[in-house]
Amino acid sequence: MSSVSMVARMAAHRRSRVRAYNHRQRHEQENIMSFGDYEPFRVDAAGVDIVGMKGGDGPPLLLMHGHPQTHEIWHKCAGELAKHFTVIATDLRGYGASGKPASDAHHTPYSKRAMAADQVAVMRHFGFERFLVCAHDRGARVAHRMAMDFPNAVDRLMLLDIAPTLAMYEATDREFATAYFHWFFLIQPTPLPELLIGGNPAAYIDRVMGNRHAGLAPFAPHALQAYRDALASPGAIFAMCEDYRASASIDLEHDRADLERGLKVASPLRVLWGREGVIERCFDALEQWRRVARDVSGRALPCGHYIPEEQPEMLLAEMLAFFAADAP
Q: Write out the catalytic residue numbers.
A: 137, 305
Q: What is the CA radius of gyration of the chain?
A: 20
Whether residue 68 has a cis bond before it, omega within 30° of 0: yes
Residue 139 CA: distances (Å) to CA of 135, 214, 242 = 5, 21, 14
Nearest CA-CA partner of 163 in 276, 272, 319, 67? 272
Query: Position 322: which residue type?
Result: F
Q: Is the CB of residue 314 less than 8 Å from the CB of residue 286?
A: no
Residues 158, 179: Cα–Cα separation, whole Å:
24
Please state, as a whole number, how many other Cβ atoms lie within 10 Å of the Cβ of residue 22: 10
Residues 168, 148: Cα–Cα separation, whole Å:
18
Strand 154-160 versus strand 296-301 pairing type: unpaired
Provide the residue count of the chain: 328
Q: Could you write out the three-class secondary structure of 152-202? A: CCEEEEEEECCCCHHHHHHCCCHHHHHHCHHHHHCCCCCCHHHHHHHCCHH
Question: What is the biggest distance separating any 2 CA atoms in the chain, rounded to whole angstroms?
Answer: 78
Q: Is the CB of residue 319 less than 8 Å from the CB of residue 298?
A: no
Q: Is 124 left (phi over 0), alpha (psi -120 to 50) or beta?
A: alpha
Whether residue 191 has a cis bond before it, omega within 30° of 0: yes
Query: Position 138: which residue type?
Result: R
Residue 261 neighbours by CB under 8 Å, 6+ apart: none
